[in-house]
Structure formats: structure tokens, C-alpha cells
Structure 1
């Protein structure tokens, strides 16, 4: 009994082996070896699986944890950490999604400001184009408003947050273009950057675009990138189609995408458009960011 107690204390498998004495010493020895290796390899596989899952889904680092003391900032910097959550939707084009970039109340206030000044949206025309022969490409209504014109201060707050998210100075941003899309209205695929061979010499160029969705849309109204990752670019693409990477408008969320490569050339995969609204209304505030300070 004393011997069995000591063996049992050393491990359940060995203790179990001692109860098999009736099988004979060789058989007991082989069974003990079998169960030992079975337990060893089983625990190794389990440990490896846990380690793999941990590496694939690492615990997010929280800025408020100890060890994240802010560094000494420059004259124009901040002495605190800023957390603006985002998701990378695509690298071709470079497109990022920002959930809850603005509050519902802020979105409703921007819509209220815009409603009284809406007019049919216009296009920047290429050489040889006219308002008549481009009719139907862009069918929304819109208006322009700068943060300095907004007495509520909401657009000023949005610009400051956007400046931190993009690291592009707010002085390089155009006025907000607030747009409303009703049922059936859309914007066919286009580029926000202006190709000089089509539009003539440019004083500055649009680097990126930020879309702040001001409303939910029951059906349709997605922002789409038909050439995402090089898809559809080698075909006779119909610019009226709603295909490719699609981003569904959600009230308060933002979408940032870059029209230029870092070397300053236009990214062909940044072609984008607005799918037709099927049910409901789409409200969006667009901010175009340039490589030079904003000009009128």
C-alpha cells in the first residue's frame, strides 16, 4: 500500500499502470510506455495549438496600460495619446474604414445645415465635355461649406480629428461637399484626382478623399471600387456598373482612400463611384485633401 501510494503521487498514468500487474511485467511496461508518449505528444500538440491561436489573434495593446508614457512633444504636438480605430479595407486602392468617426448628433446637425442650400451636383469637365453630354453621370444634390462657415463648430472638430487620422494638415483640405442621394440617384465610376492630360495643368492635386456617412441607407448607395486589386481593369468596363469592393454607408462612419501613389502618380485602382440608392436616402460629407494648401 505504501509503494502504491508513492507511485500514485508521481502521476496518474504511472499509478494506473500499477493496477495492471495481473497482465505480467512486459505487458505492463509496454502499456506504461504507450500511455506516457500518448500524454506527452497530446500535451505538446495542445500547447502548439494554443500558441498558434495566440499569435494569430494577439491581444490588442491598450494605450492606458503602464509603459506607454507619452514622449516629449514638439511645439505643435500633443502631450497625450490619441486612439482613432480604423480597419484597412484594401491596399489596392489604399482604403481605410473609420467606425463612429462622428456622433449621430453631429451627423444630423450637418444634414440640417446642408438642406437649405442643396443644388444639383456638378462635374469637373474634361476637354470636349459639356454639362449636356455628361448628364446622368452624377445625379445627386449637394452644397459646399467650410468649417469657418459652420457656427456650431462641428465641422471644425471633424477636421481636427481627420488631420490626426491622415497626418495631412487641415489647411490642405477643400471645403466639405455635403451630398444627398435619393432613390435611383448615383455617381458613375470616376477618379477624384485630375489627370493633366485630360483636365489640363493642375495647380495642386487631390491626394486622398474622406467620406463621412451622415445617414444609414436601407438598400443600395454603397461606395464601390470596381478595380480593387486589379479586378475588371482589363475588360471593357461599363462605368455604370456597381461592382467590386463595396462599402455600405453607416451613419457616423468614415471612409478614407488615397488617389495618388506615394510618388505622386494617380493610382488606377482608386476609381470609385456611388451605387444607386434603392431604398431610403444617402447623406455624405466629402472632404478632398490636396498636396498643396487649399485654394479657391
Structure 2
């Protein structure tokens, strides 16, 4: 009986294991079939899709439509959302970089329009300064161009885009100051805002500056912020040195920085300049934007 009992026990265990294997096998088979089906389905999509279409990015307009549907807008508003990519370079000063802000053709149009009007650049003089005493601080050549002087209408298009990027109206902007820097030419560190203690009372003040780089520069020509993050303020800084945060010019890119704090006082970290061009030629169009209508 003991032998029989042992045999029955052994026989019963094998049967249970077989049943368990049968029960486990069914879900595994179903899961395997499902995986093979999905792999075949997506594989067929991959091989039937045009390779050129697969590599093409989704147009920005379609992304905007999907993410942000149009909203009712006011008389001075715009009919649809727009997207202007930017990178924050610094909070002290508030400086933002806009890659591919203008097309190559737009940049070339501006250079062509300005080229015949260039004159040596001048400075706004502080109390006690003369043209002779400030000689060498700004060595570029340039001209002022308003949008209505541009037959290509490029400047008008750029102005509209700058207004959207800065959220400051077009009629607050001065005419573009288009500048050319040859090898060795530069602009020593300065502020774009006018300190009334140095320049006298101001009817309105420059809030922000937008620089549109019109050419690449092989070497040198960076826009520099020596006081970025409040650095170098207490070292007896030489205004002719090119130190601090440096922004390399790239054709079609834009740089925005604010000269005033949110309370309306001058941001001391907005001190900036143009490093000497070492190799190549630098063209830039500067738009100064004020706190009142120009």
C-alpha cells in the first residue's frame, strides 16, 4: 500500500504540473501572437513610408494649429498664434538670442540698401566730452534707415517681427542703425540708455536694443557684456577690453537685451560693446526701442 500510495502521489503531481503548463501556455501564445502582429504592422508602415517624408519635420504652422487654436482678437491684434524661437542668454542683463530671425535674402537686402549711405559712426556726447576726446571709442561706419526708405520692404517686415518678439510697439522704435565693422574696428563698452545725470533730461528713454546680425564674422566682432551677472564691476574695468559674456554674430540671428530694469532705472549690467573684428567683416542692424512713441 505504501508503494501504491507513493505511485499515486507521483502520478498526481505530474498531472498537476501538466495542467499548469497547459494553462500558462495559452497566455504566452496569445502574447507572442500579439507582439508579432504589432511588429508586422509597424514594420509595414515603416517600409511603405516614403523615406523623404519620414525625415521631414512637421511644419511649424501645423504644430501651432494643433497646440494653440486661434482665439478671438482685438482690432490691433493678430489672427493666429506665431512662434519665434529664442534662447535666454542671461538674466543680468536680460538678454535673449533669436536664431534665424531673418532670412539670408533679407540680410543681403538691408546691406545693399545701406551700403551707399555709410558715414563714420558718431557718439552721443556726455557733459564735457568732445568729438576729439571720444575719438577711437566707436570706429565703425553706419547709417540710419527707416522702413519707409527701404524699397524692398524688408525693414518693415523685420520691424513687425521685432515688435512681436519684444512686445513693444513698432512706433516706439528708432530708425535702424545699420553698421559696418572692418578689421580692427570696434565699439568700446557703453550703455544704450541715457543717464540724465550725464546727458541731461530725457524726453523718453531707450528700454531695449535689438541687434540683427547681417553677416557671419570669421573671427572677432562679438557683442560683449562685461558686467554680466554683476561680474567685473569692482575691478577697475578697462572699457576697451573684450571680456565677459560674448555673443558671436551669425547671419540672420538676433540679439535682444533690455537697458532698463522693470522699475524704469538703468540696468548697470547692460553695459555692452562690440569686440574688434579680427578676420572678415561685420554688418549689423540695431533697433533701439524707447518707452514712448518716437
TM-score category, normalised to shorter length: 0.7 to 0.9
How many Å separate the matches in 2 of 1:3 and 1:208?
79
1:59-96 Cα shifts (integer Å, max 9, x gaps)? x994231x522211111111211111111111110001
Name whichever of 156-165 and 67-76 sits farther off: 67-76
Go from structure 1 to structure 2 and tell me whether the alpha carbon gap of 1:274 and 1:10 turns closer, same or farther (over 3 Å shift).
farther
1:211 is aligned to: 211
1:156 is aligned to: 156
Gaps of 5+ in 1: 13-59
Superposed, which structure 2 residues align to 1:1-296 within 5 Å? 1-2=17-18, 5=21, 62-65=63-66, 68-294=68-294
Give me the TM-score of the superposition, normalised by structure 2. 0.80
Q: CA RMSD in A?
A: 1.9
How many Å separate the matches in 2 of 1:236 and 1:276?
21
SS at match of 1:90: strand
1:100-135 Cα shifts (integer Å, max 9, x gaps)? 111111111111111111111000000000010111
Q: CA deviation at 1:11?
A: 11
Q: CA deviation at 1:258?
A: 0.2
How many Å separate the matches in 2 of 1:272 and 1:3?
81
How many Å separate the matches in 2 of 1:138 and 1:285?
15
4+ runs of 1 displaced by more than 4 Å?
6-12
1:225-265 Cα shifts (integer Å, max 9, x gaps)? 00001111121001011111110000000000000011110
Q: How many residues align?
A: 246
1:173-208 Cα shifts (integer Å, max 9, x gaps)? 000000000000000000000000000000110000
How many Å separate the matches in 2 of 1:286 and 1:143?
10
Q: CA deviation at 1:10?
A: 11
Gaps of 5+ in 2: 1-16, 29-59
How many Å separate the matches in 1 of 2:269 and 2:224?
11
1:130-186 Cα shifts (integer Å, max 9, x gaps)? 010111100000000100111111100000111111111110000000000000000
How many Å separate the matches in 1 of 2:106 and 2:71?
32
1:33 is aligned to: none
1:41 is aligned to: none
Go from structure 1 to structure 2 and tell me whether the alpha carbon gap of 1:7 and 1:209 turns closer, same or farther (over 3 Å shift).
same
Q: Which has the larger radius of gyration?
A: 2
How many Å separate the matches in 2 of 1:130 and 1:9?
94
How many Å separate the matches in 2 of 1:203 and 1:134?
25
Give me the TM-score of the superposition, normalised by structure 1. 0.80
How many Å separate the matches in 2 of 1:7 and 1:191?
80
SS at match of 2:238: coil
How many Å separate the matches in 2 of 1:108 and 1:62?
30
How many Å separate the matches in 2 of 1:153 and 1:118?
20
